[in-house]
Amino acid sequence: MPENDHYVIIGNGPAGNHAAATLRQKDKDAKITIISDECVPYYYKPRLTDFIAGEIAKEDLMVNFQDVKDIRIRCGQAVKRIDPDSKLLFLQHMEKIEFSKLIIASGSRARVLPTMSGYADHLKFVTSYTDVMEYKEEIRKAENFFIFGGDLVGFKFFKMLNSMDKTVTIMIDPDAFWPYRLTRDMLEQISENLLKFNTEIIVKDEVLSIDRQNGSYRVKTRKGIEKNVDMVLSFNGLNPNIEFAKGSGIDIDYGILVDEYLKTNVDGIYACGSCAQIYNQAIKSYTTSIGWPNAVVQGEVAALNLLGDHKIIESVGQKYFDLEGVKIKTTWWEDINEDNDA
């Protein structure tokens, strides 16, 4: 008798969880496993800033997701390698896991550009629960901040600092908005509108060096600005987590390449959420989507297609995101706050 299917999902974010829930809904018997390298249950990343600001409690970070039933969740276990031929996943601690079908929903993490290598050791990033647990107290105590890059997460973080009455210097790099780039006009308008906050804005400049001196950091820019601050945070966009897929035969570029059905070039392997680079028939190009609502829908669609459906993924909520007075057309970001459960 053939054994039940074993669907494995890499990643415990919105994409992974909604994929798992959909699989369970449609296939009552299959064995379903979510593997995540984070040691925490499914949580709201977008609420991390409110948590730091002390506006919500730890419990409020957790997603109360009833739909993931009978699903094995392996936390704190990183996938190192995929072998599509033998349908095996290799975990960091040397265990092998067999799958019949696989959904990759490994998300993304802070992008560190090679130009930052000289001072990367002094940077802090806010992309996960672990980061936040590590820096929360430090952020609360610190008075002076230097933020650079300034992607959407960065602006969210900036507003949070502002609400906490911190002194912030923000250096905006139009490239930080990867996968999109700010135009000159957008950049100017954003800077102008940011002036209403208690902040110093630097544009058209670069970080030259960051040194640590008796507990604080000295940031020097190429144009000669010097700042002494308590913390330096980098928000230079996100990079898909795809190292484990390299060399597996699954097509990857910046992210995992999938067609409009979220299928990779390998049968039975799908990818969704912010780790995926998705073919979009309308613009005839691949796009990377970050943002919670897209991850949710993509998780569901990947699961349905894995089970035999042919659903084309469409971007959620064609809308304009208001970034300090500038409307950025986005299909991939929802301004999520505590009273807006996605």
Partner 1 sequence: MKKNDLYSKEETFFQSKNKIYSAQSVKQIVYSTDIRDFGQVAKSIPCQDACPAKTNIPGYIRAVFEKRYGRAYELNRSANILPGVLGRICARPCESSCRHGETDNGQSVGICHLKRSCADLKPSSHRIIEGLYTPTEKKVAVIGSGPAGLAAAHDLSILGHKVVIFEGMDKPGGMLMYGIPEFRLPRDLLMLEIQNILRLGIQLKTNTAIGSDISFAQLKKEYDAVVVATGCVSPRKFDIPGGNLENVYNGLDFMKAVNEGENPFVGDKVIVIGAGFTAVDCARSAIRLGALDVSINIRKTIEYMRIDETEKYEAQFEGIKTYSLIQPSRIIEDNNKVTGIEFQRTRMEKIDKPPYRVSIPIENSQFSVPTDSVIAALGQSPDMSIISKKPDGMDGVFAAGDFVTGSSDVISAIAGGRKCAGKIDEYLVGKKRKRTVVRLENHATTDRQRSYDFIGKVVMNTIDMEKRLSKSTREVETGYNEDQTHEEAKRCYLCNLKYEIDPLVCIYCSACIDVAPKDCIKMIGNIPVNPDGTYGIYEETDDWNQVLSIAIDNAECIRCGQCLAVCPMDCISVTKTELIEIDT
Task: By CB under 8 A, name the binding residues for partner 1.
Answer: 80-81, 90, 92, 94, 113-115, 117-118, 246, 251-254, 257, 265, 279, 284-286
**Radius of gyration of the CA atoms of the chain, in A:** 21
| Six-digit token string for 72 | 């094995």
Asked if 151 contacts 126 with a C-beta cutoff of 8 angstroms, the reply is no
Q: According to the binding rule CB under 6 A, does residue 336 interact with ligand FAD? A: yes
Q: According to the binding rule CB under 6 A, does residue 21 interact with ligand FAD? A: no
What's the distance, CA 198 to chain centroid?
A: 28
Site for ligand FAD in 174-233 (CB under 6 A): none
Asked if 112 contacts 74 with a C-beta cutoff of 8 angstroms, the reply is no
Which does residue 94 bind out of ligand FAD, partner 1, none, counting CB within 5 to 8 angstroms by kind?
Answer: partner 1
Which does residue 188 bind out of ligand FAD, partner 1, none, counting CB within 5 to 8 angstroms by kind?
Answer: none
| Six-digit token string for 248 | 């597996």
3-state class percentages of the chain: helix first, strand second, coil last, to nearest 5: 25, 30, 45
CB of 46 to ligand FAD, least distance (A): 3
CB of 199 to partner 1, least distance (A): 27
Q: According to the binding rule CB under 6 A, does residue 112 interact with ligand FAD? A: no
C-alpha distance from residue 29 to each of 32, 70, 90, 103 (Å):
9, 10, 24, 18
Strand 101-104 and strand 108-110: pairing?
unpaired
Site for ligand FAD in 43-72 (CB under 6 A): 45-46, 48-49
CB of 44 to ligand FAD, least distance (A): 8
CB of 249 to partner 1, least distance (A): 9
Measured distance CA(313)–CA(241) in Å, rounded: 21
Which does residue 286 bind out of ligand FAD, partner 1, none, counting CB within 5 to 8 angstroms by kind?
Answer: partner 1
Measured distance CA(113)–CA(209) in Å, rounded: 14
Quick one: which segment of 100-108, 143-151, 161-169, 194-202 binds ligand FAD (CB under 6 A)? 100-108
Measured distance CA(215)–CA(33) in Å, rounded: 44
AA letter at 16: G
Burial grade of 26 (CB within 10 A; 0-12, 13-18, 19 or more): middle
Quick one: which segment of 6-14, 60-68, 278-286, 301-309 binds ligand FAD (CB under 6 A)? 6-14
Q: According to the binding rule CB under 6 A, does residue 290 interact with ligand FAD? A: yes
Quick one: which segment of 64-72, 201-209, 218-226, 267-275 binds ligand FAD (CB under 6 A)? 267-275
List interacting residues with ligand FAD (CB under 6 A): 10-16, 35-38, 45-46, 48-49, 78-79, 105-108, 126-127, 153, 156, 241, 244, 273-275, 290-293, 295, 333-336
